[in-house]
Each structure stands twice: as structure tokens, then as C-alpha cells.
Amino acid sequence: MIALTRLNGHPVMVNSDLIEQLEETPDTVVTLTSGNRLVVRDRMLEIQQKIVDFKRRIHGPA
């Protein structure tokens, strides 16, 4: 799970394995495999780094 921040400032935890797509329009839109969408303050590259950091914590460095 990674922590993201909604536009209203409220934190939300997201299962990174369920993220299907990220886009900046200019807000960052996170589309999940369920079709649900979240609009967050975090930038796309920040989210990418959070996912990489989370996977490294779980699986260890490559």
C-alpha cells in the first residue's frame, strides 16, 4: 500500500498492485483496475517512486 493525498488534503492508502494507469491532466489521475479513479495531489513521478520504494521494502533490492 502507498499513501497518496487527495486534492482536498485527505490521505488515502492505495494498493499499488491495483493501479492500472497514471496521468497528469494537469492534476494526477490514478485509474485502478476496477475502473475507479482518484484525483490526487501527488505528481506522477512521486507516485512511481513510492511504488518502487514499496516494492523494494517487500521484495528487497534487485
CA dihedral 57, 52, 50, 12 (to 10 degrees): -80
Half-sphere exposure of 29 (CA within 13 A, CB side): 9
Report the SS3 class of residue 30.
strand
- What the block records as the C-alpha cell of 11 is 490521505
Range of the domain at 39: 2-59
Number of domains in the chain: 1
**Average pLDDT by stretches of 10, the chain with 62 residues:** 97 98 96 97 98 92 66
